[in-house]
Amino acid sequence: MLLNLQSQSIKKIAALVGILTGSAIPLRATGVAVEQGALGLALMGALFIWCAVPEARKRVYTVLVSPIGLSVAVMFACWAVGIVFSFDPLGSLRIGGRTVVMVLAAVVLWVSLKQHMDAHRLMLKVLVLFSLSIALGVILSFNGVIMTVVHPDMAFKPFAASVMCLVPAVVWAGRKLDGGWRWGGYGFVPLALVIIVQTFNRAALAGFIALILTVGLVLILNKHRFARGWLVVIVAATLGGLVYIFTREMHTPVVDGLYLPRWLVDPHRQYIWQFAFESFLESPWVGTGIDQSNYIPGAGLPAPGFDGHTATLPSHPHNGVLEILTETGLLGFLPFVFVIGGTFWRLLKRSWKSSDEANMALLVLMAGFWSSALFNFSIWSTWWQLTLYTLFAVIASGREAECEEREPQ
């Protein structure tokens, strides 16, 4: 009797974890505090399950000692060495440690959802419903139908990046739930595109194009019956995105010393990248320290060719890969490339060999996130990291058992 009551309590907690997790990333539209609050409560429930269920603890250990888990541990260890040479060692330790905690939290969350598939299914329904309803509300706010914020195009610009990352998760969730949920997943795609276009978030647009390219590439490699159609979609999406950016940015200032067309990458961002890369060359092995780019000498000075209010490096390099290279040096960057590249390769192989669509969803999520990260947002931003880790846990927890047993993620 006692065991039965305990089992029922754990199921209820798992259901609550599913509801909170499914709603968290869509709630980014209301601000980071609500999103992180929902995930914090979900983690508390997941930790309770981890403590109460021996099988959950065993799964966490299996992930941590798997090849990908050990690779991530080596990467974190290399980052830790660089902290000693940081401009602000305590600041770098705090930000780096926070990243470690978030990764471990995502693993615990994954385990709690994997242990209770009823809660996982409930989470997918919440994810689809919240994504659709919040996206629709944001679009109505853009067009003045409802009043949520004064300048919605600016207020929801960061949310556009989260929306882009939600696309593969919501489409996969709809297809997994099947029935009318499938069309709900498909219906989220045009809503996401409208939000990205109306906020003119070029980083999110780059990620959205990467989503389409990745799906098309996998289908073509698998010789899917829709491969030719996707090839047309890929060409149209790429050309459409470039034309859209060109028409919006053709009047940007003419500045000398640029390497890329100013309509493709704005002049200020190109100067930011150039400054960050030159800083890397000055300390190529250990870097400046995690989250310390803004303390590089000259970072706060006005960028050449712009007004005095435009800093050369406003807080971070606006390129996640370049940020890791500059701040952790080759010592931290090479393990990072190994982890990300290895994860991409594993997911790509699974997409070829398995019919489980979760593998493709994870691959597409990674492609969209890292493509978008090449153009904006500090890679150390809590909300940005949580977007990747949470959605990765959501999708990975729904993979078929045989995939997980072969190679734990």
DSSP classification of residue 303: P
Residue 217's pLDDT is what? 81
Which residues of the chain register pLDDT less than 70? 1-6, 147-150, 223-235, 237-264, 305-309, 401-409
Residue 387's pLDDT is what? 97
DSSP classification of residue 253: P
Element (H, E) at 266: none
Residue 37's pLDDT is what? 96
The rounded distance, in Å, linking the Cα atoms of 127 and 175 is: 13
Q: What is the model's pTM?
A: 0.90
pLDDT tens digits along 39-59? 999 999 999 999 888 888 999
